[in-house]
């Protein structure tokens, strides 16, 4: 009896002591910005300045916007926040944003994304081409010099990012866009046929699903040279795995939050950026496609072909900054697919939601489409898409209200002295650039809740700070596929709107509710539209 009582007493003492130590650790950690002399937003245990990622009913973007508004109300140009105990520099002032993105880019070259080079081949590294795969499977991780880096462009930082960016930039020139444009047009014709034969005047549609099929076909063809046939096979592997990336479970969300906060511990625990089945699928697709083309001397005007040509450059060796390894090709193809299909379909979805809500704007867009196509034999051409100025304004305004990535991140790679202040941001500090807060700031956008494409007329854009609109980021790390994404969105919207009228179906929640779990800004419950022939 006495022994049991002692055990219970000791157990209580251990638990109380542990709680006290953890509590003290949080309190000490939350004094970081005070010790640095920088104003901060008051955090709470245990999640800092963000709510519980598992139970939160509001999206990450909405929470970031609220933090922005709190800091703005205090007259702060920048401040400190906490992601759990992780100190994060929160930047509001547009001139300071410009410094981070461009002027002082050398201090903020890295995005700070979590990666695991040991367990995540697409996310980081895999075996050197030519070495036995069995050796790769049982490799000695202490000898990492034997393994060539294969990370995708979004995750890399520093010199590795700079070299890979230089390799990839030529694949997104105007000339290369024109090479791939006909593929977009062909996918647009399939979309138009589907709307004409299967949708118009017959049923309500989840427009995000329809546009997801379109963008999957476009990216599948342009990135992999494969016909995904998403309209005939809505559950094709590309659709299944593409959606899987952006529809995380509650556990996935919790893991991502943990990895962001404790990246070293997450790597020790073997946490991955990309699930094994997703990684294996895309790796096999790329390797099999390249093998088929090289064996059969097949060439196509697509993104993959451009990378194959870089891989096979004669007289040059891997690592010289000019060629690509197989691992790099796999990683870039993967990120091109996931970034291209989801962000473009999301942007088109929100644009059509707003056009359904504002019929007069929809009519103006359609009138421009008809006028421009009339000058091009009623055909969708590369030049005709570039002449859709008002549609471009609609897309810009849609991305202002619904930025695909509501927050952009950087990490300080060296100690950084804030311009005009004594404040020093320490090396390794995460940086949050709240895009959604900037996009809803009344100093830049009067009545920001109102959808108004005229904000992006050439004359109005000139009046506004150049960093007040950041859907693709800015500076040297601006999204490399920006022009491709806009072009794809124009083709999709043109194909759908030129002969059809859209209206909002009662299944769509108004105002829209933004999904609290989606990694990309998305409407919870979907956007449901009625489509009718003109």
Closest CA to 340 of 351, 329, 328, 348: 348
Other beta carbons less than 10 A from residue 400's beta carbon: 25
For the chain, give the number of residues: 534
Q: Rounded distance, CA 211 to CA 492, Å?
A: 8
User: Which residue reads 């539209």 in tokens?
Assistant: 529
Q: Are 481 and 172 in contact (CB under 8 A)?
A: yes
Q: Rounded distance, CA 241 to CA 269, Å?
A: 25
The three-state (H, E, C) secondary structure of 106-175, written as one string: HHCCECCCCCCCCCCCCCCEECCCCCCHHHHHCCCCCCHHHCEECCCCCCCCHHHHHHHHHHHHHHHCHH
Q: Are 324 and 307 in contact (CB under 8 A)?
A: yes
From residue 450, alpha-carbon distances to 401, 447, 454 in Å are 9, 6, 11
Q: Are 81 and 429 in contact (CB under 8 A)?
A: no
479 is in an annotated binding site: yes
Q: Rounded distance, CA 460 to CA 458, Å?
A: 6
User: Which residue reads 């709107």 in tokens?
Assistant: 497
Alpha-helix residue ranges (DSSP H) falling in 314-430: 326-357, 359-374, 382-386, 389-401
125-140 burial code (b ≥16 CB/10 A, e <16): bbbbeeeeeeeeeebe
Helix (DSSP H) and strand (DSSP E) numbers for the chain: 20, 11
Q: What angle do CA 111, 113, 115 make, to 5 degrees?
A: 135
Collapse the DSSP code of 67 into the 3-class scheme (helix H, G, I; strand E, B; otherwise coil) and give the result.
helix
The three-state (H, E, C) secondary structure of 85-100, written as one string: CEEEEEECCHHHHHHH
Q: Rounded distance, CA 253 to CA 261, Å?
A: 13
Q: What are phi and psi of 416, to 5 degrees?
A: -130, 120
Pick out the residues of the known binding site for heme.
479
Q: Which residues are annotated as a binding site?
A: 479
């Amino acid at each position: 009896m006495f022994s049991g009582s002692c055990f219970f007493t000791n157990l209580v003492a251990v638990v109380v002591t542990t709680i006290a130590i953890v509590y003290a650790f949080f309190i000490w950690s939350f004094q970081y910005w005070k010790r640095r002399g920088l104003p901060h937003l008051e955090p709470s245990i245990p999640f800092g300045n963000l709510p519980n990622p598992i139970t939160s009913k509001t999206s990450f973007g909405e929470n970031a916007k609220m933090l922005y508004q709190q800091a703005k109300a205090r007259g702060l140009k920048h401040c400190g926040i906490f992601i759990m105990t992780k100190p994060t520099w929160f930047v509001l002032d547009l001139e300071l944003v410009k410094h981070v993105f461009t002027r002082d880019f050398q201090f903020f070259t890295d995005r700070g994304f979590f990666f695991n080079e040991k367990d995540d081949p697409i996310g980081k590294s895999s075996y050197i081409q030519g070495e036995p795969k069995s050796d790769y499977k049982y490799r000695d991780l202490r000898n990492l010099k034997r393994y060539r880096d294969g990370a995708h462009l979004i995750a890399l930082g520093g010199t590795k990012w700079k070299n890979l960016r230089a390799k990839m930039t030529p694949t997104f020139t105007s000339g290369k866009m024109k090479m791939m444009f006909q593929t977009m047009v062909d996918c647009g014709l399939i979309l138009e046929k589907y709307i004409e034969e299967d949708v118009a005047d017959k049923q309500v549609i989840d427009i995000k699903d329809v546009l997801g099929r379109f963008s999957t076909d476009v990216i599948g063809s342009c990135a992999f040279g494969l016909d995904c046939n998403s309209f005939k096979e809505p559950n094709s592997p590309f659709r299944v795995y593409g959606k899987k990336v952006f529809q995380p479970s509650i556990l996935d969300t919790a893991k991502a939050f943990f990895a962001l906060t404790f990246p070293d511990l997450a790597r020790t625990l073997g946490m991955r950026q990309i699930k094994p089945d997703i990684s294996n699928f895309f790796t096999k697709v790329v390797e099999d496609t390249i093998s088929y083309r090289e064996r059969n001397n097949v060439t196509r005007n697509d993104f993959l072909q451009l990378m194959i040509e870089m891989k096979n450059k004669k007289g040059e060796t891997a690592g010289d900054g000019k060629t690509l390894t197989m691992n790099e090709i796999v990683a870039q193809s993967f990120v091109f697919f996931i970034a291209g299909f989801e962000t473009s379909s999301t942007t088109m979805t929100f644009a059509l939601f707003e056009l359904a809500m504002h019929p007069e704007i929809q009519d103006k867009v359609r009138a421009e489409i008809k006028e421009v196509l009339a000058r091009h034999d009623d055909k969708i051409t590369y030049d005709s898409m570039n002449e859709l100025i008002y549609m471009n304004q609609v897309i810009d305004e849609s991305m202002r209200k619904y930025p695909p990535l509501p927050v952009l991140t950087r990490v300080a790679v060296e100690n950084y002295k804030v311009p005009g202040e004594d404040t020093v941001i320490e090396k390794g500090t995460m940086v949050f650039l709240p895009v959604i807060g900037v996009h809803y700031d009344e100093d830049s956008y009067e009545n920001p809740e109102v959808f108004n494409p005229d904000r992006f007329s050439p004359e109005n854009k000139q009046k506004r700070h150049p960093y007040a609109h950041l859907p693709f980021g800015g500076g040297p790390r601006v999204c490399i596929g920006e022009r491709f994404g806009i072009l794809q969105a124009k083709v999709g919207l043109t194909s759908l709107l030129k002969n059809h009228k859209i209206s909002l179906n009662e299944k769509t929640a108004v105002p829209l509710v933004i999904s609290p779990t989606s990694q990309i800004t998305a409407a919870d419950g979907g956007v449901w539209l009625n489509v009718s022939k003109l």
